[in-house]
Amino acid sequence: MELQNTSHHRSAFGVSPRLRSIWGARTVGWFAFLVVWQALFQAAAVFGVTTYVSVFFLPAGLNVAFLLLFGPRVVPVLILASLIAGVPYWLPDRPLTWIATATAVGVGYGCGIGWYRWRITRFSNPSRTLVICWLCAVAPLTVFGNATLMGVAYYATGATHAADALHHASLIWVGDLVGIFTVTPAALLACAALFPEETRRQLPWLRLAPLPSIREVLLHTAVLLLALIAVYALPHALSMDARLWHLLFIPAIWIALAKGLPSALLATSTLNVGNVAVATLFGTPIALPELQSLMLGISATTLILGAMATDRAQTIGNLAATVDARTRELSTANQGLLSANQVLYDQSQALRQTLEDVSAAHTRLQETQQQLIEAEKFAALGQLVAGIAHEINSPLGVALTAASYLSDETEQIRVLARAGQLRRAAFDDYTAAATEATDLLLANLRRAADLVHSFKLVAADQTSDERRRFTLDECLDDIARSLSPLWQKAGHTLTVSCPSGIEVDGYPGALAQILTNLITNSLIHGFKPGQAGRIAITVTEPAAGTLDIVYSDNGQGIPTEHLPSIFDPFFTTGRARGCTGLGLHIAHNLAVRRMGGSITATSTPNAGVCFVLNFPRTSSSVP
């Protein structure tokens, strides 16, 4: 877990926030410490305290730590520290060498570590492994550049020969590199413990939290010191091979893998300080190149493995957090889905119930519509019956009058005949009157019989779905005759033009119903009150096996905006007069479904209407 910036927080080493303010307030003091520490280290070498100043140049590690933390502004301080440290060596005999070597230190370290800081910041959220690998790669190159500049400074200022300059440069390269891997980890770890917020701000890409606790520091230090004692003491005591120091890899790698990068930094510094202390104070049977290789190998391996372990732990932690968050999201989503599923189920049930209600309502509507259609058909038939009854009254009345007159005349002749007073002239008059009355009686009775016959045919067809063969012109004449009471009473005329002998195998009842509805529609909607209209029914045969019945009138026509709707059920403009709007709808259904044809309408306002009924001579529909 990252350290939190709170007023009561204490780091893993127990340092209070008040101490951290020293970072910003006494930066100059830190730089002074760098100068003094490097000078004291050089003085120790001068006065014989250590003979390994070139082999383990520990100030180099502090130089790198300060450059990492403060950036290029530390370069002048490094040059100053080198100048002070070089006073016992080069003054007063070699002032140019003194200045050149100090400048080489500042330029070499400043360029190398400065480039490293710049390059790392170019990565977006780099891993710790990447940061440490780059550091392990850049540090040798930086030290190599510094050592090269130092060798050039020695040779250019005449301080030594070329071979000696090369030898000194090689010593400086390895010694400074060992010093970097010894002091830099400890310095960075100390800064992260004492000043966590400032270190995080200066080195955001390093991320050293969480730091090891005091207990872990003591435990790891004890383990590493025991390993050092075992490595250096056992070979001498048991006359063993001095190469036993390779076993130092084991505790260092274990700490790095088990605890991560911060503990790896601690292990690296502890082992290297222990090696330097033993080599400085007691000497070592291990050859210096081997000891240096040991320190560098352990340092690089431990740091890289520690970084990898920390990245792995962080990746696992992030993955676990992501899995937990995703699990919570999925759980929440699942609860939402369950709720939504329940809502959908309820809605489905409601929709199913609504669908059942709509289906039942639709069934009732169809039944009601069929009842209305049947009622409309029987209403038209009722109008036909009323017209026929009125039409039959006239011939029957004339026949009744003629029969009554003939009965009276016959009674008078019978009376005269019984009295013996019947004369020839009276008998002749009776015979003439009887003949006239009989002719009148027969003519009117025949007229009534024809009306009844036509009515029977049309009524039977309209109330029956029977398919049969019929002659079209006779069927049309019967329909016109049966409907004559309707159009003759209003003063209209109806003409039928049909070639004789056209045989049709179909449904005469459907045809009669269609024409009845068209004529009724013209009488109700087409003609204005008092207008003597004309209705024409014309039959043509546009193609073999197909017939057209063209129905037209000269009424007031149908408005253009109403034409698309005239065949829709219940569409009417005469609802106030009791119209149902089913007449043309019935005609359309019979034309399409019963007769297997079609019916279309065209109209021009105030110029009448024209319906074209197209159907096959032999119907293919099934009732």
What is 351-374 written as a DSSP string? HHHHHHHHHHHHHHHHHHHHHHHH
Looking at residues 138-160, what average pLDDT do you find? 85
Task: State how many domains the chain has.
Answer: 2
Do the domain assignments include residue 145? Answer: yes
pLDDT of residue 396: 75
* Ranges 235-244, 361-370, 452-461, most confident: 361-370
Average the pLDDT over 569-587 and give the result: 72
Could you say which of 211, 239, 255 is where a domain stops?
A: 211
- Return the CATH number at 532: 3.30.565.10
pLDDT tens digits for 192-245?
A: 888 888 888 888 888 887 888 888 888 888 888 888 777 776 655 444 454 556
pLDDT band at 616, cuts 50/70/90? Answer: very high
Q: Would 600 be classed as within a structural domain?
A: yes
Tokens 């009417």, residue? 572
Burial annotation 358-381 (CB, 10 A radius, 16+ → b, else e): eeeeeeeeeeeeeebbeebbebbb
Helix (H) or strand (E) holding 591: none
- pLDDT for position 610: 93
CA distance readout (Å), 63 to 33, 69, 596:
11, 10, 105
Higher-scoring residue by pLDDT: 303, 576 = 303
Residue ranges making up the domain that contains 585: 464-623
The answer to whether residue 132 scores a pLDDT higher than 70 is: yes
Of 360-374, 446-460, 584-598, which range is least confident? 446-460
Lowest mean pLDDT of 143-152, 425-434, 440-449, 494-503, name the range: 440-449
Please provide the average confidence, as pLDDT, over all residues in the chain.
Answer: 77
pLDDT of residue 498: 92
- Identify whether 180 is part of a domain: yes
pTM for this structure? 0.50
- Above 90 in pLDDT, residue 91? no
pLDDT of residue 5: 37
For residues 51 and 593, the model is more confident at 593
Confidence check: pLDDT of 491 > 50? yes
Residue 321 lies in a domain: no
Dist CA 270 CA 299 (whole Å): 10
Among 153, 188, 211, which residue terminates a domain?
Answer: 211
Lowest mean pLDDT among 25-39, 199-213, 368-382: 25-39
Strands 534-543 and 493-497: parallel
330 pLDDT more than 80: yes
User: Over 90: is that where the pLDDT of 611 sits?
Assistant: yes
Whether 148 shows a pLDDT value over 80: the answer reads yes
Confidence of residue 382 (pLDDT cuts 50, 70, 90): low
The per-residue pLDDT for 240 is: 47
- The mean-pLDDT minimum among 55-64, 117-126, 404-413, 455-464 falls in 455-464
Q: Does residue 525 fall inside a structural domain? A: yes
CB within 8 A of 457, min separation 6: which ones?
Answer: 475, 478, 482
The kind and range of the H/E element at 548 are: strand 546-553
358 located within any domain? no
> Rounded to whole angstroms, how far apart are CA atoms 464 and 332?
68
The pLDDT-based confidence of 283 (bands split at 50, 70, 90) is low
How high is the pLDDT of residue 79? 80
Rounded Cα–Cα distance for residues 617 and 619 (Å): 6
Show which of 178, 211, 244 is a domain's final residue.
211
In a domain, 303, yes or no: no
Which range is most confident: 195-209, 335-349, 561-575? 335-349
Lowest-confidence pick of 7-21, 278-292, 308-322, 532-546: 7-21
- Report if residue 305 sits inside a domain: no
How far CA 545 is from CA of 488, 499, 613, in Å, comes to 34, 15, 14
Side-chain half-sphere exposure of 391, counting CA atoms within 13 A: 23
Residue 83 pLDDT greater than 70, yes or no: yes
Q: Choose between 291 and 349: higher pLDDT.
A: 349
Instruction: Give how far Cα 292 sits from Cα of 150, 311, 448, Å.
Output: 20, 28, 141
Report DSSP state, residue 618.
B
- Per DSSP, the chain holds a count of helices (H) and strands (E) of 19, 7
Instruction: Give residue 4's pLDDT.
Output: 35
